[in-house]
Amino acid sequence: MSRRWFITGGTPGNFGMAFAEEALAEGDRVVLTSRRPQELASWADQYGDRVLVVALDVTDAAQVSEAVRIAEERFGGIDVLVNNAGRGWYGSIEGMDESAVRAMFELNFFAVLSVTRAVLPGMRARGGGQIVNVSSVAGLVSAVGFGYYSATKFAIEAVTDALRDEVAGQGISVLTVEPGSFRTNAYAGFANELVEEPIPEYHDLLEQVRAAFVEMDGVQPGDPHRGARAVIAAMAQDPPPRRLVLGNSGYDAVIDAFEQNLADVRANETLSRSADFPS
């Protein structure tokens, strides 16, 4: 039987669209959500009744509930949830505007919880399902200039790890995906964004960060469709992996960070073990 997908963040040229197209290539059916559904109308027409585009701002809890209701009513349930919607802002830890920090957590973290909690009752009632939370390499390796973005993705990593164990007994698998640098539209806005940093000492650093993203735009090594196919292949494993890093540079960065962290922990084993009461 074909699976029924619910994918957030359906912006043309981004990962959401790649997930949708690869799921459709598998013979599945897709609900693709977007804040601007009119942009997807002509794309959806070619797939007929196998695709449903639904307007959704994932930060609006009422819209989330309604979108899930519409999806379940149309296809009879949701077998695969892909929490893909998200965005990154850059700025220093000291200087970034607090409202921007909170907005980033609302979109990248709390909205993921809202969608997941709306979809889980149906999955539990049917006794199975798959959840894919799109994190980032920045959720495993914090990025300078993107500290708060990294924090939102680290939070996704933590919640996903706990959720995986909580729902495993109900036939639901949970996969965290950590893409590196992929050729989507995610970097397109950096060319027109000026560094808004109130603390002069960080301005040059953040300008270097911005310039690096401008330079990478359009030449990122990652292919979103290959990435989506890798995720589908991982989902088919028995059991599926807990997480999947996507892309060569991302894989190397994560391995290097994990090995360094492990070396740091082991280097201070004596101090760590000295903190307990004497046995």
Please give the positions annotated as active site.
135, 149, 153
Contact present, 133 and 174 (Cβ < 8 Å)? yes
Q: Torsion-angle region of residue 129: left (phi > 0), alpha (psi -120 to 50) or beta?
A: left
Strand ranges inside 108-154, DSSP E: 129-134
Q: Which residues pair with 31 in a beta bridge?
A: 6, 52
Whether the Cβ atoms of residue 30 and residue 53 lie closer than 8 Å to each other? no
List, in sequence order, the alpha helices (H) in the chain.
Answer: 15-25, 41-45, 61-75, 98-105, 111-126, 147-167, 203-216, 224-235, 248-267, 269-273
Count, residues in the chain: 279
Give the number of C-alpha atoms closer than 13 A to the C-alpha of residue 149, restricted to the C-beta side: 16
Closest CA to 22 of 194, 228, 197, 242: 228
